[in-house]
Amino acid sequence: TATDDNGNVGKTKEYEVVVYGDVNGDGVIKATDYVRIKNYIMGNSSLSGVYMEAADINKDGNVKATDYVKIKNHIMGTGNISQ
**pLDDT tens sequence across 52-65:** 999 999 999 999 99
User: What is the predicted pLDDT for the residue at 16?
Assistant: 87
Is the pLDDT score of 33 beyond 60?
yes
pLDDT band at 1 (very low <50, low <70, confident <90, very high): low
Among 82, 83, 22, 31, CA closest to 54 = 22
Q: pTM to 2 decimals? A: 0.81
